[in-house]
Amino acid sequence: MEVKFLKAGTGDSILIHHNGNNILIDGGNDSTYLLSEVEQIHRREEVINLLVITHHDDDHIKGIIDLMNLVIKGDFGTPNEFIKKVVFNSPRLANGKIVPKKERLLSYKQAHKAEELLLKISTPWELFTDKADSILFDDLEIVFLAPDNQSVEKYSQQKGAYLTSDFRCDWNVPMFKLERHLTDKSQDTSISNASSIVLLVKHEEKRILLTADITPKRLEDIIKDLVEKNEGNPIEIDYIKMPHHGSYKSLNKTILSNISCHNYIISTNSKKYFHPNKRALLKVLQNSQGEEVNFIFNYEEAIDKLNISSKEKKDYNFKLTPNNEDYGVSI
């Protein structure tokens, strides 16, 4: 199994390759590397076996729209044969039916654009919640941990999409000063992010948690459920993609205290919303029990913007690891 966290602008685009199967999760808002990877899939005479659109935000869905436009043009052969299965909790499916254009309840144009393109490709798409069965590709398992039915219902009833971000930059503040004022009082509660699809990728002994932009309340519920199934013990995860591109509003102490993980992946070029927040890294470090933490970036330039000193890395016992491939990070 190879998992690629592609350079995708400010957003996520994750490509999993295993035994000739290709699973694509989101497309970011810069599709340059995504389309290059898809071209290689086509050259190998393979297909996209599963496409997951975690939610409708621009920095997750725009690259998928770019891809589907090329699929419709026939750049990768017969459209409905190149993309085999799609999971997308779109406005239409969330309402339980294909809703006519004039009756749509959610006014977010890119979500509707994706729906229209999927109809043209003629690949049916499905709504998945935490009650859905896992999807297997040989010995690779994709487990759906979120959203729950309640989050999907709230999402379907919204008349608009409201994106929440933190516009306060903390990059130039020393970590010891930020640590003094670190709390969980400010948390993301947006309905769009609460409806994000969260995946646990399992292969042999490896576990990778893909969190999209999930809100902390929903992630807290997910982690608590996993801990309960683990006889009350913290769950061990090899890699976690930090939710919402390293926003400090998307993590809290309860979540982190129930996780044992030393590798956190941050997916953003840091050109919007001052992500990742240095405070998000500090929240992780506060719960690391002194063990070294590795923050892995798919854009090296995002590390430079954080303005973290060698002394801070030593004092707080962590590493900042840049992308190991031109296209981003491969694990």
Pairing of strands 21-25, 14-18: antiparallel
Residue 5 sits at φ, ψ, to 5 deg, of: -100, 95
- Tell me the per-residue pLDDT of 229-243, one tens digit each, with 9 for 90 and over: 999 999 999 999 999
- Tell me the per-residue pLDDT of 31-60, one tens digit each, with 9 for 90 and over: 999 999 999 999 999 999 999 999 988 899
Taken in order of first residue, the domains within the chain and their CATH numbers are: 2-133 (3.60.15.10), 143-330 (no CATH)
Distance CA 18, CA 137 (A): 8
pTM as predicted: 0.93
Three-state DSSP at 61 gives helix
Q: Which of 214, 178, 286 is nearest to 12 (CA)?
A: 214
Q: Which residues of 184-210 are buried (b: 16+ CB within 10 A; e: fewer)?
A: eeebbebbbbbbbbbbbbbbeeebbbb
- Tell me the per-residue pLDDT of 63-92, one tens digit each, with 9 for 90 and over: 999 999 999 999 999 998 999 999 999 877
Residue 42 sits at φ, ψ, to 5 deg, of: -65, -40
Distance CA 179, CA 226 (A): 29
Three-state DSSP at 86 gives strand
What is the band of 104 on the pLDDT scale with cuts at 50, 70, 90? very low
**Mean pLDDT, rounded, for 137-145:** 97
> Per the structure block, which two tokens stand in for 86?
């799609």
Q: What pLDDT, on a 0 to 100 scale, did the predictor assign at position 156?
A: 74
